[in-house]
Structure 1
Amino acid sequence: MDILLLILGLGCIFIGILGSLIPVLPGPSISWIGLLLLYLTNAVPTNYWILGISLLITIIITVLDYLIPAKGTKYFGGSSYGIWGTNIGLLIGFFSPIPFGFIIGAFVGALIGELVYDSKNHNRALKAATGSLIGFLASTFMQFLVAVLFMGLFIAIVWQYRASLF
């Protein structure tokens, strides 16, 4: 049972890292579930401090994930159309064969969203799309960093209790 929980936890860690780059999946939350599954094994004693602090970090990052792109867009004069355009463009760009398509898609999506909102003011739309892209990149970087840190923590704990696990 311990090996199954270990494999499921490792799978959650990898899905969490991938999810930090895809807006549909909550990356840090899935990575935290991977840590929780590791602590549910009989070989690793439960450390409530690590679980509690990592859960608090996960909650903070999740809240910031919604605030940062919106603040970036608003700071540069954008609207909710730009935020929606960013997310839709990101998904389209992610599945396109273009290198870095998710970044290009996010920018183009925000630009189109802002032009739908106000088709007369192209400079405002470009500025808002830039703000949306900067907010998205900052939020994605934070999520990716947390997911990778959770993976490092997972590996360190597995290494520490390797004799009991294997």
Structure 2
Amino acid sequence: MIASALVVVLTACGQAGRTEEDGSIAEGERISPHADHPAIRRMDPVLLAAVRRAAADAKQAGIEVGITSGWRSKEYQQLLLDQAVSHYGSLREARRFVSTPETSAHVSGKAVDIGPTDAADWMGRHGAAYGLCQVYSNEMWHFELLTTPGGQCPEQRGDAA
């Protein structure tokens, strides 16, 4: 009963789905691919291993790879979508940048967002060597495991819609 009341209060305050347990990483923050955080622990293990290998090689090139988003709960993904609708003014426009909980690769643990910009750029140029591919041309930070290591990444989609 108390938990249900807390969910109602947090939802009303806009905080439901934005906890560490939901996979939230503080805005503007990056965490290590080795961090003990639900956003990392709940990522697909094969994806996480590829990110860790890439991060180790990037470090050799002087690039520090951080994760700005990994696994997300359905509730957190819905919160992000709701915020995008509010920001962009329509679900159609919001969907260009944020997937629904049913279609988000973050919810299944099969997507990772990389930062800072130099790390995302490095990953965009070298990620295919690890099987990591930039999925959307409007999101240089979003990567998924879409090829075998050393393979060819599929053509990028214009956006998440």
Higher helix residue share: 1
Higher strand residue share: 2
TM-score, normalised relative to structure 1: 0.29
TM-score, normalised relative to structure 2: 0.30
Instruction: Say which structure, 1 or 2, has more relative contact order (CA 8 Å, 6+ apart).
Output: 1
Structure number with larger C-alpha Rg: 1
